[in-house]
Amino acid sequence: MKTKITELFGIKHPIIQGGMHHVGFAELAAAVSNAGGLGTITGLTQGTPIKLANEIARCKEMTDKPFAVNLTFLPSLTPPDYPGLIKEIIDAGVPVVETAGRNPAEYLPALKEAGIKIIHKCTSVRHSLKAQDIGCDAVSVDGFECGGHPGEDDIPNFILLPRAADELEIPFVASGGMADGRSLVGAMALGAEGMNMGTRFIATQDAPVHQNVKEAIVNASELDTRLVMRSLRNTERVLNNEAVERLMEKEKALGADLKFEDIIDEVAGVYPKIMHEGTMEAGAWSCGMVAGLVNDIPTVQDLIDGIMSQADEIINSRLKNF
């Protein structure tokens, strides 16, 4: 399938794996890229420039296809060494960077000068237009359904995608709630040039996370996610568990007085325990409503092949027969 996104990134299928903390390691990124999509290493999980350089080198050993690095810009008291991380990305010749979080404008000149394509992930039309203005090559439009941070506007993709299509000149992919060939064709009907998936890619044999995480997604329904940290204006969609119930009790009790320190046990440093040790009640972890559509743990190759053949069947037989 040829779209503006496959052309822009030099990939076979218009399917991107979004950056995911403690999930987006070289194994997953390489598997997605080898299957014809665009895999992504999560920069901040590596943390230091030298570790990121090693992870990029590992990925290059596993694939000769293009892959991306995600750089998430979060407000932080001790910010990561972004210039150092960017230098390693440039030196390694990584062709694509997925930016997310706050406005990445100050880092764009260095990346663009090196010929790197930038796809910025954001949750509103106004932020998408801003990304276009500052020179991003594409946008990943992340609807309210998404796992992770859906922003504060709560606009689902059935509205957000056609709104983006009406306003944007640069190409965009649909993100949030995407799982299969139906998602891809639906997103493209609404104006997207491809799709970005997070949660669906965790429940694959290639994702380097504990089996308990994959099974938790398979066992979850579309009713099992919760929004937390809304009062901190840092809303996150997570899979419900004991830690999340505890967190929500604190939110209810403290209301507008809630501070990050009040919920530190439930949210800080929990990813390694969950993703690598499989301790599922250790804290709150991002998961999309799309868990309701995830019923198996295929290889990434089988997942992507299945998506593309289902999309083909929908376009060339189901829709044609109407």
Ligand X SMILES: Cc1cc2nc3c(=O)[nH]c(=O)nc-3n(C[C@H](O)[C@H](O)[C@H](O)COP(=O)(O)O)c2cc1C
Please tell me whether residue 16 binds ligand X under the rule CB under 6 A. Answer: no
Closest to 232 (Cα-Cα) out of 253, 266, 261? 261
Q: CA angle, corner 18, sides to 84 and 312, nearest 5? A: 145
Chosen residue from 161, 203, 288, 314 binding ligand X by CB under 6 A:
288
307 Cβ contact list (under 8 Å, min separation 6): 13, 15, 180, 181, 183, 184
For residues 216 and 106, give the distance between their C-alpha atoms in angstroms, rounded to a whole number: 39
Pull the structure tokens for residue 262. 């009040």
The alpha helices in 170-241, defined as continuous H runs, are 181-189, 199-202, 211-219
Q: Which residue of 13, 14, 15, 19 would you call a contact of ligand X, by CB under 6 A?
A: 19
- Which distant-in-sequence residues (6+ apart) come within 8 Å of 17 by Cβ? 24, 28, 29, 32, 37, 38, 39, 40, 196, 197, 198, 201
Q: Say if CB 309 and CB 185 are below 8 A apart.
A: no
Task: Examine residue 236 and tell whether it contacts ligand X (CB under 6 A).
Answer: no
Q: Is residue 241 close enough to count as binding ligand X by CB under 6 A?
A: no
197 near ligand X, rule: CB under 6 A: yes
- Which residue number places its CB atom closest to ligand X? 198
Minimum distance of ligand X from residue 121's CB (angstroms): 5
**Member of 104, 171, 198, 283 binding ligand X (CB under 6 A):** 198
Computed over its alpha carbons, how large is the radius of gyration of the chain? 19
Which residues between 95 and 154 bind ligand X (CB under 6 A)? 100, 121, 142, 145-148
What CA–CA distance (Å, rounded) separates 125 from 122?
A: 8
Of residues 219 and 316, the one with the C-beta less far from ligand X: 219
Beta-carbon contacts of residue 313 (< 8 Å; ≥ 6 apart): 181
Quick check: 225 binds ligand X (CB under 6 A)?
A: no
Of 46, 72, 132, 235, the one binding ligand X by CB under 6 A = 72
Contact region with ligand X (CB under 6 A), list: 29-37, 87-95, 281-289, 296-304: 281-289
Residue 191 CB, shortest distance to ligand X, in Å, is 18
Could you say which DSSP state residue 38 is in? B
Binding part of the chain for ligand X, among 81-89, 102-110, 280-288, 302-310 by CB under 6 A, reads: 280-288
194 binds ligand X (CB under 6 A): no
Q: Cβ 80 to ligand X, closest distance in Å?
A: 12
> How near is the Cβ of 140 to ligand X at its closest, in Å?
7
Query: In this chain, which stretch among 106-114, 170-178, 226-234, 304-312 interacts with ligand X, using CB under 6 A?
Result: 170-178
Dihedral (C-alpha) 26, 63, 116, 174: value to the nearest 10 degrees? -70
In whole angstroms, give the CA distance from residue 282 to residue 280. 6
Choice from 184, 187, 280, 287 touching ligand X (CB under 6 A): 287
The answer to whether residue 178 forms part of the interface with ligand X (CB under 6 A) is: yes
| Interaction of residue 70 with ligand X, rule CB under 6 A | yes
* Residue 175 interacts with ligand X (CB under 6 A): yes or no: yes
Number of residues that bind ligand X (CB under 6 A): 29
Q: Hey, what are 62's tokens?
A: 């596993």
Contact residues for ligand X, defined by CB under 6 A: 18-21, 23, 42, 70, 72, 100, 121, 142, 145-148, 175-178, 196-200, 285-288, 290
